[in-house]
């Protein structure tokens, strides 16, 4: 039997997305592929990657196993992608992220380390590895997924919030720096989105983030809504993009009424 050759871009625009096996990453991959883009799906979950490729159509992308904490693995993954993509990268979507939910002292230090390694170092590694290919692609974009927890620190998500503030700050700095290379940088900050991350909890507790959101009556937005915002970020001129009406409200309040936001956070941890 003759092996089926891997799909190639054949002149199409290209997207490389981390955390592409599920959640926002997969939704973005479907959104871009449906509009004619060729997608590189990267994730640590190989079984999930197979399903993800089937979801976008085998002719519309390739899969690469990638632990975003591993810089050497980043280089190898993008080399594989570049071969299939015709040595172009129109959008690199740094989406992979993890969370642990609970009071700061209840979250294991090892879990905090993993969040820092995946959520910050993973994004930094992507920027380092992706820049050469982005710089060779006219009009390219680096899109980093942060969070509303990077607008104002969220209780029971202290370290997660810190990582997302870092992603926001990195995006703002690189938007200025990467302009020298013709690469635009965008930062997407979702409110709560219906992804597996809402199942995040902490050691020694049965409570997960989804429980707290439900108790607080807070909205949860869809991955398709997030994917549309990522599409807008890949094509728009703004630096920051939010997902969901509540995200816009928080961004406004944190900017103009930070004292009121602080009071609300302290009054009711169920708000976040």
What pLDDT, in 10s, does the model give residues 221-268? 899 999 999 999 999 999 999 998 988 888 888 788 788 878 887 776
DSSP 201: B
What pLDDT is stored for residue 263 in this prediction?
84
Q: Which of 101-110, 117-126, 164-173 has the lowest mean pLDDT?
A: 101-110
The CA distance from 29 to 234, in Å, is 13
Note whether 16 and 91 are within 8 A (CB).
yes
The per-residue pLDDT of the chain, averaged, comes to 91
Note whether 150 and 164 are within 8 A (CB).
yes
What pLDDT is stored for residue 100 in this prediction?
93
What pLDDT is stored for residue 190 in this prediction?
95
The CA distance from 156 to 171, in Å, is 24
Residues in CB range of 271: below 8 A, 6 or more apart: 216, 218, 264, 265
Say whether pLDDT at 208 is over 90: no
Residues in CB range of 126: below 8 A, 6 or more apart: 18, 68, 74, 92, 94, 142
What pLDDT is stored for residue 3 in this prediction?
39
Arithmetic mean of pLDDT, 16-31: 98
What pLDDT is stored for residue 246 in this prediction?
86
Note whether 251 and 242 are within 8 A (CB).
yes
Alpha helices in the chain (DSSP H): 23-33, 46-56, 71-85, 109-115, 122-135, 158-177, 209-216, 223-235, 245-256, 258-267
> Helix or strand or coil: residue 238?
coil
Arithmetic mean of pLDDT, 12-20: 98
Arithmetic mean of pLDDT, 111-119: 97
**35 pLDDT band (50/70/90 cuts)?**
very high
Of 173, 119, 7, 257, nearest to 111 (Cα)?
Answer: 119
State if pTM tops 0.85.
yes
Query: How big is the CA angle at 20 (ends 14 and 23), to the nearest 5 degrees?
Result: 125
Residue-wise pLDDT for 66-112, tens only, equals 999 999 999 999 999 999 999 999 999 999 999 999 999 999 999 99
**128 pLDDT band (50/70/90 cuts)?**
very high
Catalytic residue ranges: 160
What pLDDT is stored for residue 2 in this prediction?
35
The CATH superfamily assigned to 14-271 is NAD(P)-binding Rossmann-like Domain (3.40.50.720)
The CA distance from 123 to 170, in Å, is 9
The CA distance from 181 to 259, in Å, is 40
> Helix or strand or coil: residue 52?
helix
Residue-wise pLDDT for 131-153, tens only, equals 999 999 999 999 999 999 999 99
Q: Which residue has the higher pLDDT, 200 or 45?
A: 45
Residues in CB range of 93: below 8 A, 6 or more apart: 15, 16, 17, 18, 25, 28, 143, 145, 230
What pLDDT is stored for residue 5 in this prediction?
57
What pLDDT is stored for residue 196 in this prediction?
79
């Amino acid at each position: 039997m003759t092996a089926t050759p891997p799909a190639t871009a054949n002149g199409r625009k290209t997207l490389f997305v981390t955390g592409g096996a599920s959640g926002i990453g997969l939704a973005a991959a479907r959104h871009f592929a449906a509009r004619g883009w060729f997608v590189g799906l990267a994730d640590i979950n190989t079984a999930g990657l197979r399903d993800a490729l089937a979801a976008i159509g085998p002719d519309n992308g390739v899969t690469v196993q990638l632990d975003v904490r591993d810089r050497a693995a980043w280089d190898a993954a993008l080399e594989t992608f570049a071969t299939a993509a015709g040595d172009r990268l129109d959008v690199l979507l740094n989406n992979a992220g993890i969370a642990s939910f609970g009071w700061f002292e209840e979250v294991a230090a090892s879990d905090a380390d993993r969040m820092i390694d995946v959520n910050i170092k993973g994004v930094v590694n992507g920027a380092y590895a992706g820049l050469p290919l982005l710089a060779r692609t006219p009009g390219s974009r680096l899109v980093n997924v942060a969070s509303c927890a990077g607008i104002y620190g969220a209780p029971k998500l202290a370290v997660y919030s810190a990582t997302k503030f870092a992603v926001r700050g990195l995006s703002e700095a690189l938007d200025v720096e990467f302009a020298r290379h013709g690469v635009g940088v965008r930062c997407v900050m979702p409110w709560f989105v219906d992804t597996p991350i809402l199942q995040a909890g902490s050691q020694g507790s049965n409570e997960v983030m989804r429980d707290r959101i439900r108790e607080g009556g807070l909205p949860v937005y869809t991955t398709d809504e997030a994917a549309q915002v990522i599409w807008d970020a890949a094509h728009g001129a703004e630096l920051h993009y939010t997902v969901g009406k509540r995200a816009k409200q928080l961004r406004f309040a944190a900017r103009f009424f930070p004292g009121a936001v602080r009071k609300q956070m302290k009054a009711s941890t169920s708000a976040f």
